[in-house]
Structure 1
Amino acid sequence: MLDKRQIRQEIKHRKQGITPDERERLSRQICRAIESLPGFERVVHLMLYHALPDEVDTRPLLSKWARDKQLYLPIVDGDDLIVAPYAEGAMKQGAFHIWEPTGTTAIDPARLEWIVVPGVAFDRQMNRLGRGKGFYDRLLQQTPARKIGICYGLQLVDEIPTEPHDMKMDLIVTENDIIYKNDEIWH
């Protein structure tokens, strides 16, 4: 089994083969798959993220659902993520050059129903490999929200080494696949 550093390196290499047009097309497919999930229409409090250039772009969801759902984005605050309401146009570049909401008050993560989570890699045992700082793991421990990992299909690996603090996903969505941890929670 590869270690976390090796997996990050391998995925970075794989992603270099994705063209900007492919990235946009695949991101739209993944966003449509999220919208097709059972229960999506009932979710009111949904946390997304503003993608880095190598991540699945969630802007199609942000623009389409900003008026019908209460959307939230993470803000890097020291070693943690806080959750703030999304308002189109009220954004600034924050830590790591990630776009974040401005002038908003953090909400209790327990309020969230679903969280769409980026990752460097995922496996079919619902494990996620992040960038190594533990931001999402700490946030996900604070909420009962459904945890939906999203990635390009090439980011799925056979096995990710885990540690006790690593949070599992409830669902993983790629352009080719929807991987469920437990069917019952989605019906």
Structure 2
Amino acid sequence: MKKKELRAEMKQQLSSLEQSSYHTLSEQIMSRFFTLGTVQQASTIGITISAFPEVDTEGIIRALWEKGKTVVVPKCSPKDRTMTFYKIENFDQLETVYMQLLEPNPLLTTPVAPTNIDLLVVPGIVYSLSGYRIGYGGGYYDRFLMNYKGHKVSLAFDFQLRDDLEKEHFDLPVDLIITNEQMIKCHLYRDEDGQYEDSI
């Protein structure tokens, strides 16, 4: 199945999630996320501000603040499809942009270089066990990941995993996928030596 078709199919499946199931599954993913040694060791964590039906990240962000972590979230530049991450310390530092998405207000926040982000939570719609993903079509993360050298983790509902995912030459995989049912070390499903180590 082509990327466009898979994206459309999964969007429909995600939108049919009942709120009760959505919150329960998101909480299960959050619990697994905080068992990761990489999360515990990271000082600065990059993560998006989720919008339903993406895995809820609000609770994760609040818990990261409680643990003394630096949280940085992306602001997209539609002109050149690039992202800049900004440090946020509360949700009042966000502004509503296109499609009602929340992004950091540059007037209230400080930019953070990619080299200072220890762990990046990479969003997507569909994932393969080997860590490749279909995003939302903007290509922002594809561009950002080309120059990002830290750990890459994705959060997904288990039904977002597919084995018939097309891989293109510019696609860059994540190291780990955390779902409500499992944690997948993606290098085990790729024909290469994995570089992801973690104490779970």
Instruction: Provide TM-score, normalisation by structure 2.
Output: 0.87
Tell me which of 139, 142, 145 is aligned to 1:140: 145
The CA distance in 2 between the partners of 1:61 and 1:100, in whole Å, is 16
Give percent identity, aligned residues only: 23
- Which position in structure 1 is the counterpart of 2:198? 186
Match of 1:69 in 2: 69
For 1:32-111, list aligned pairs within 5 A: 32-67=31-66, 68-78=68-78, 79-88=81-90, 89-102=92-105, 103=107, 104-111=109-116
Cα deviation 1:39-82 (Å, max 9, x = unaligned): 32111110111012120011111111224100100111221111
Task: State the shift of 1:184 in Å.
Answer: 5.2
Residues 76, 94 of structure 1: 8 Å contact kept? no
Q: Which amino acid aligns with 2:83?
A: L
Unaligned runs of 5+ in 2: 188-193
Relative distance call for 1:184 and 1:82 in structure 2 (3 A) is: closer
SS at match of 2:10: helix
The CA distance in 1 between the partners of 2:158 and 2:146, in whole Å, is 26
Contact 1:76–1:95 (Cα < 8 Å) also in 2: no
Inter-partner Cα distance in structure 1 for 2:50 and 2:59? 11
Aligned length: 186
Alpha-carbon distance between aligned partners in 1 of 2:110 and 2:136, rounded to the nearest angstrom: 26
* Aligned mates of 2:88, 2:170 — CA distance in 1: 28
Q: Which amino acid in structure 1 is aligned with residue 101 of structure 2? A: I
Q: What is the letter of the counterpart of residue 97 of structure 1?
A: Q
The answer on whether the counterparts of 2:45 and 2:117 sit within 8 Å (CA) in structure 1 is yes
Does the CA-based 8 Å contact 1:87-1:101 persist in structure 2?
A: no
Q: Counterpart of 2:115 in structure 1: which amino acid?
A: A
Residue in 1 that maps onto 2:19: 20
Residue 45 of structure 2 aligns to a residue in which SS? Answer: strand
SS at match of 1:142: coil
Instruction: Go from structure 1 to structure 2 and tell me whether the alpha carbon gap of 1:184 and 1:51 turns closer, same or farther (over 3 Å shift).
Output: closer
Secondary structure of the residue that 2:28 maps to in structure 1? helix
Q: 60-69 or 115-124, which moves further after superposition?
A: 60-69
SS in structure 2 of the partner of residue 106 of structure 1: strand
CA distance in structure 2 between the partners assigned to 1:4 and 1:112 by the alignment: 29
What displacement does 1:19 show? 0.4
1:150 is aligned with what amino acid? L
What is the root-mean-square deviation in Å for CA atoms of aligned residues?
1.5
TM-score by length of 1: 0.93
